[in-house]
Structure 1
Amino acid sequence: MQKDNIFLISMKFFNLIQQHTIANEHLKLVTINHGASVQKLFFKDVNNQEINVVLGFKNPDDYLNNPAFIGNSIGRYAGRLKKGFTINGDYYPLYHEEGVHLHGGKEGFSAKNWEVEEIKNGENPFIKYTYYSKDGEEGYPGNLKVSVTYKLNGKSFIIFYEAETDKTTHLNLTNHNYYNLNGKGSVRNHCLKVNTNQFLEFTPDKLPSGNILNTTGTPYDFSKEEKLMDKKDFKGVDNCFLINNPEPVATLYSESTGIEMKVKTNQPAIVIYTPQNLPAGNYNNSFSEFSSICFEAQGYPDAPNQPEFPSTLLKKGEKYTNHSIFEFDIRS
């Protein structure tokens, strides 16, 4: 009887996962409400062949085991924090492992089933998901209402986060898509350009030391477009770049498909990450070493404990916004 009950509970949870599709003339987007996640994003290559430019899992249920946060919405705090923070003299301890709080805690927004608020089809289709995070969830203060809207506008894929709180809290949201403009294999043959000359110095536990470094002469200098495989001693990218130049923040290009993607955002920083190897999973295609690249537009990591960093405080009556645009085209 006990095993039957467990089975029924499991089936009920699986049924809560919903898949949604919107499309326009240029792009087709498939999302799921679990983690408000992007599962597929299609754009046609130079040969007019449809390419899924985001790495994902084949089935919605596969997202229940997603240690790499593939396609997820991340919160309440993207990136790494120390094991707590202080607001107005009150200390808020957070879930942490070896002193580091990562991507919102033990069960951040990426592990929640979001509600579908609105779906609109037509020329500029969109889907809007919402989640209500209760005061004290994962240790954070304030009842928080958060939403993400995924919109297709021409050749642009737009991600728009909004949030409001009834109590001062810290908030730092982002999307964790893994891009591959070939739809398979590796991104080592992709060209990357990043329009910034500053990045954060990290300690061995990948928390910021507080120092801001210049990219010149470092492995993080992508001021000139360059194939990743041609980068001297390329061992992957995993750092937080500070946005201090006009848009686009970054440009990614694949000679194989002719697809170019430009990244724009209103955020002060962007984490660029190329995983060397993926965790085992039921992926939507065959991928190899350095399978993909993430562009996580966000605030600075550990800003609540770094007074010199831009603040991530959100107060009652204020509205948080995180607006990112991924523009696709065929390079002529």
Structure 2
Amino acid sequence: MLFSDRSTHRPQPAPVRDVFGTLPDGSPVHRWTLDDGAGITAAVLTRGATLQALYVPDRDGRALNVVLGHPSLDGYLVRGPFFGATVGRYGNRIAEGRFQLDGRTHTVPLCDPPRRNALHGGPHGFDTRLWRAAPLDGGPGSGVQLTLDSPDGDQGFPGALRVTVRYLLTPGRLRIDYRARTDAPTVVNLTNHSYLNLAGEGSPTVLDHELTLAAAAFLPVDAQLRPLHGPVPVHGTPFDFTAPRPVGARIQAPDAQLRLAGGYDHCWCLDGGATPRPRPVALLRHPASGRELTLSTTEPGIQLYTGNALDGTLTGPSGRRYGPRSGLALETQHYPDSPNRPHFPSTELRPGQEYRSTTLLSFTAPGGRAEPGEA
């Protein structure tokens, strides 16, 4: 059954704000806790507009945190795996940190060693910023809106950009809405970088999770983890998740693409491309707990990253260390290096236009499936 089925008449508590920690300059970082009134809670930090925790019940009603994170603010101040962060101005990679727009070359600092890429917006991307926050009032659900002003030239990107990210928790579903406007032509590609483990944060592996992706093609990469060329079919490769498969079923296959990335760290081209309303594109299931996640989005791509670089040096709120493949990211987005690939869907944003993107995370109890919801 859906979690929402058992909570139709339960009021949802208002979001609760507390102080998660203090930045070196004395600024407080607030944590906003959202509650769906049916057993799911989410915690959002103003540092990086970060999803710090997401508690979801299993088939027996036991709620565990299913996203990886740091136990205190100190961990978020050392840039590392981007746990739960809103990444931007451009999520994923820009080759050589350079792109052209309207005949001008723009340079973003490299930050993907040992590779020569600008990754997730540069070394001081949106994940490192303190966002302004206010509760979402007057509508259904428990929510918070975060706002950031990114000035012209920020990390080398042109145009002053105002960004808002809304987290809205309704029974059984977390909705993330992104909006942005600019005063000069620029490029924008925002996403959330949560690492999921439906067995509970701190569980040793996600290789036993079953994954389905609505994607008949993916983007092969070179040694720099940049797209080699256009999409290629997944059929007959370890990248075929068009039917449910365990994440670990073929991750050790003798495949050149898997060797280059040390596992999965690739963009899948979602069937149908970008859409005006979110549609379901991924189903992640943990058979032992019964937790299922249906992920819906308006985006044309999704980056699956299987936590290949996690090495046991980081410890989560559970007190357990994060080893390789202890979490996976499903990053809804446009394609990597799109500003340098005119045949990819465009990430350009111009004055008078509004950047809009929505992603839904819908959770079910065993035997049910959440609906993608309305845009």
User: Scaled by the length of structure 1, what TM-score is found?
Assistant: 0.92
Pick the aligned partner of 1:291 from 320, 326, 342.
326
| Alignment map for 1:203-242 (pairs within 5 Å) | 203-231=222-250, 233=252, 236-242=263-269
CA shift, 1:211, in A, is: 2.4
Closer, same or farther: CA 16–221 of 1 in aligned 2, 3 Å: same
Tell me the equivalent position of 2:348: 313
Runs of 4 or more, structure 1, over 2 Å off, are 10-16, 117-123, 228-236, 279-282, 285-289
Tell me the equivalent position of 1:88: 102
Tell me the equivalent position of 2:146: 129
CA shift, 1:248, in A, is: 1.8
Distance 1:310 1:149 in 2: 24
8 Å CA contact retained: 1:303, 1:310:
yes
8 Å CA contact retained: 2:161, 2:183:
yes
CA shift, 1:288, in A, is: 4.0
Closer, same or farther: CA 276–206 of 1 in aligned 2, 3 Å: closer
8 Å CA contact retained: 2:23, 2:29:
no
Tell me the equivalent position of 1:45: 58
CA shift, 1:289, in A, is: 3.3
Tell me the equivalent position of 1:243: 270
Distance 2:137 2:151 in 1: 28
Q: Which whole-Å deviations, capped at 9, do the CAs of 1:119-139 have from their partners, x for residues lacking one? A: 449851111111000000100
Tell me the equivalent position of 2:81: 68
Distance 2:72 2:137 in 1: 24
Alignment gaps of 5+ in structure 2 = 1-21, 254-261, 274-278, 368-375
User: Scaled by the length of structure 2, what TM-score is found?
Assistant: 0.82
CA shift, 1:277, in A, is: 4.5
8 Å CA contact retained: 2:251, 2:263:
no
CA shift, 1:316, in A, is: 0.2
Between 94-103 and 154-163, the greater mean CA deviation after superposition = 94-103
Distance 1:153 1:55 in 2: 22
8 Å CA contact retained: 1:34, 1:114:
yes
Q: Which letter maps to 1:18? A: H
SS in structure 2 at match of 1:105: coil
Tell me the equivalent position of 2:297: 265
8 Å CA contact retained: 1:119, 1:126:
yes
8 Å CA contact retained: 1:14, 1:61:
no
Tell me the equivalent position of 2:335: 300
Alignment pair present for 1:327 and 2:362: yes
Alignment gaps of 5+ in structure 1 = 1-9
Distance 2:165 2:122 in 1: 19
Tell me the equivalent position of 2:15: none
Tell me the equivalent position of 1:140: 157
Alignment pair present for 1:179 and 2:196: yes
Distance 1:45 1:210 in 2: 41
Tell me the equivalent position of 2:132: 115
Tell me the equivalent position of 2:258: none
Q: Which letter maps to 1:307? A: P
SS in structure 2 at match of 1:209: coil
CA shift, 1:212, in A, is: 1.3
Q: Which letter maps to 1:47? A: D
Distance 2:28 2:116 in 1: 34
Closer, same or farther: CA 14–20 of 1 in aligned 2, 3 Å: farther
8 Å CA contact retained: 1:36, 1:110:
yes
SS in structure 1 at match of 2:280: coil
Between 312-321 and 50-59, the greater mean CA deviation after superposition = 50-59
Closer, same or farther: CA 28–120 of 1 in aligned 2, 3 Å: farther
CA shift, 1:105, in A, is: 0.4
Distance 2:248 2:117 in 1: 32
Tell me the equivalent position of 2:123: 106
Q: Which whole-Å deviations, capped at 9, do the CAs of 1:194-228 have from their partners, x for residues lacking one? A: 11110012111011122211101111111111122
* Identity over aligned pairs, percent: 31
CA shift, 1:25, in A, is: 1.8
Q: Which letter maps to 1:223? A: T
Tell me the equivalent position of 2:372: none
Q: Which letter maps to 1:141? A: P
CA RMSD of aligned residues (A): 1.9
Closer, same or farther: CA 122–281 of 1 in aligned 2, 3 Å: farther
What is the number of equivalent residue pairs in this alignment? Answer: 323
